[in-house]
Amino acid sequence: MEMTTALWSFALVVGLLTLTPGLDTALILRTSALGHRRQAWGVVLGIQTGTLLWGTLTSAGVTALLTASRVGYEVLRWAGAAYLVWMGIGMLRARAEAGEAPEQESAAEEEKAAVGGLASGWRRGLLTNLLNPKVGVFYVAVLPQFIPAGAPHFAAGVALTCVHVVEGLLWSVVLVGFARALRGWLRRPAARRAMDRVTGVVVVGFGVRLAVSD
């Protein structure tokens, strides 16, 4: 398989994966819909930084340890599950408390988002991605199959990973634009509560799923 063919084939596989609604989609939509544009792009960049790290480590052979070491995988899995549950419960609690004084909470939340901005979003996106061992296992199982025989393993692996990152960024542009188009409606207190409740439940659900999965 030539490198060009490998790039297009891998682009198709990870493109379908990117379009599938999941945790990343929920976080980007929620952050952007609440009007936190800089923080939303921070989440996007954090997720894609994590993807690039997973692909680079896989190309270097490091993530093979996840499949070789049961202990290493379990430690990362439980850490990721705990982080997701903690983050989801935080969203649910914050919105429950906001029910008593939505306008004051909304102003405080926007001020906090403005202060944290890009950096806080980047940290959230990066941790969400890196603490999910299934992303690493996906790369271990899939990436080597698309590296042509005779091609430099590390360089080819990183190039394929960059295809995934570019597709993720392009899809994020669509998600952020969609969320901002609905921003006027979503800025209503009732809509904001519904958005955070749904996102909080989704995030907790992913955390529980990660904890109980084999």
CA distance 104 to 115: 17
**Tokens found for residue 44:** 């996007």
Mean pLDDT in order along the chain per 10 residues (214 residues): 84 90 86 83 95 92 72 79 84 62 48 66 92 83 86 91 96 90 72 76 81 74
pLDDT score for 165: 96
Q: Which pLDDT value is given to residue 107?
A: 47
**0.85 exceeded by pTM:** no
Assign residue 213 a region (left: φ > 0; alpha: ψ between -120 and 50; beta: otherwise).
beta
- In this predicted structure, what is the pLDDT of residue 123? 93
The Cα–Cα gap between 203 and 198 comes to 9
- Kindly list the domain boundaries of the chain, sorted by start residue: 3-8+23-212
Question: CA torsion 173→178→184→187, rounded to 10°?
Answer: -80
Tell which residue, 213, 200, 207, has the closest CA to residue 26: 200
The pLDDT, as a whole number, for residue 44 is 95
Whole-angstrom distance, CA of residue 197 vs CA of residue 97:
12
